[in-house]
Amino acid sequence: MKKGLRMVKMLTAKEAVETYFYSGATVTFGGFANGLMHPEAIMAALEQAGRAGRLRDLKVVFASGQGDSGERGLNHLAVEGLCETVIGGHWGLAVRLGEMAMKNSFAAYNLPQGVIAQLFREIAANRPGILTHVGLETFVDPRVEGGKVNQAARDAGDIVKLMEINGEEKLFYPAFPIDIAVIRATYADEHGNCTFEKEGVYADALVQAQAAHNSGGKVIVQVEQVVSGGSLDARLVRLPGIYVDAVVVAEAKHHMQSFGTQYNPAFSGETRIPLNALKPLPMSERKIIARRAAMELVPHAVTNLGIGMPEGVAAVAAEEGLSDMVLTTEIGAVGGVPAGGMDFGAATNVECILDQPTQFDFYDGSGLDVAFLGLAQMDQAGNINVSKFGPKVTGCGGFINISQNAKKVVYCGTFTAGGLQTAVEQGKLRILREGRSKKLVEQVEQITFSGSYAIRHGQPVLYVTERAVFELTPEGVELKEIAPGIDPQKDILDQMDFHPIIKNVTRMDPRIFQEGLMGLKEQVHD
């Protein structure tokens, strides 16, 4: 060992929490969605300390909400009195934490995932914060809701400011010091140098560590194994030991690649597996929507697919032989096939893995040709809500960054929700049972996407359902296409809470409702 090289502390998860955590600290936790790059062992130890009453009033900030809709991830923070303030990008998988937020157990804020990821970088560089257009005219705008999730946040006050720069409105997200960063890596050496080679994503680990270190705080890293100093390939070290204060070696059960997979080398780019064409989707409302949405692809389109209904676009593209579409994920994957379910965020046969702030730089600068996103609730102004429904807070995640900045946005979803049943017979769509809830409402519960903002910036926006296609125009939402077999009054207008603009309505392409290939490959490359 070279003389003078610093040796990092090796602690158990319990020792790390007892050594570095204190009541009132501002803490950030790394990872994405379903446990990717998430320090689960340290989170479990933190929950135990909270339940024992040794910690209180933490100020928590995270970009990507890690959880399994149950006990793991940020759900460990759902201990009464443990948190005073929580600022998060996505809350949907941390349901226990979200339930406490709705009970006003702490002041809860929801900001765009990309903004929070980039904010860590500003904190690290000792800059005042982020000045950006992202979030204007959505619920994050202080003129709307200011990103406040609950009454406790409304009582605590604004954390987003509206400013004017060179005659243009911007939102300012102020920086603040980070006292403790809890992140994850694959291997660490005795000096704290860390590699990420078995991780499916890189998330915000580097910038979170820099933010805490440069704030005078502490950095704790959970790893799979500690190796001898100097034995790591310098080309694989993505987190230098100069940022790291302590390393925790976790058991395998607390160091899964995701909450759905212990380890898949294809997710981390270590191996490639042969990919046959994805299994074609059966004829259903999902396939109808995905087929119509896929008609909006252009050659070599750089694309983002939201979770849920939009994932079907990849299956249709594969079935039709559209192999030159480049799929990306907000957490940093470029190329490959994005995973779903409990592996969402990872990608098989990925071509490149970027860290999250860098990916959002690309997104915010209009690098995406097209984004296919979910349609949970839509209104007559073309606004979309995917972030809040009654007493449940889901959060915006990367939705605002993506939807505001993609060159084109295609919203995908069924016309109604809750028990909808359809059938395709002889090339015509039949509604066997209507959904219980209307999704096209007079006014959305929360504005996650602003139709008026899109119109002013000339952004093309389509809303694709199984029975109708709408387009956002300067005059409002216009009905453009109707599926064959659909009654315009009974199946469309009577199932909406507003009346769309109706001018020249055409039938949806009949190929959408037929078995076999549509011929999209030839169409897209014409």
As annotated, the active-site residues are 330
Chain CA centroid to CA 24, Å: 28
C-alpha 191/C-alpha 177 separation (Å) is: 25
C-alpha 125/C-alpha 367 separation (Å) is: 25
C-alpha 244/C-alpha 218 separation (Å) is: 7
Cβ-contact 186, 27 below 8 angstroms:
no
Residue 353's DSSP bridge partners are 333
**Alpha helices, DSSP H only, in 295-418?**
312-319, 356-364, 399-405
C-alpha 111/C-alpha 348 separation (Å) is: 29
C-alpha 417/C-alpha 303 separation (Å) is: 26
Total residues found in the chain within this entry: 526
Q: How far is CA 140 from CA 97, 161, 172, 188, in A?
A: 20, 10, 11, 38
Stated as kind and residue range, the H or E segment containing 19 is helix 13-20
Cβ-contact 129, 122 below 8 angstroms:
yes
| 511 CB-contact burial (10 Å; exposed 0-12 / middle 13-18 / buried 19+) | middle
Stated as kind and residue range, the H or E segment containing 46 is helix 40-51
Give the side-chain half-sphere CA count within 13 A for 131. Answer: 10
Taking alpha carbons only, the member of 325, 329, 371, 323 closest to residue 346 is: 329
C-alpha 272/C-alpha 265 separation (Å) is: 8
**Alpha helices, DSSP H only, in 89-204?**
95-102, 113-124, 151-156
User: Cα-flanking dihedrals φ and ψ of residue 409, to 5°?
Assistant: -125, 130
Cβ-contact 400, 449 below 8 angstroms:
yes
The pair of three-digit structure tokens given for residue 66, joined into one six-digit string: 């890690």
C-alpha 338/C-alpha 495 separation (Å) is: 34
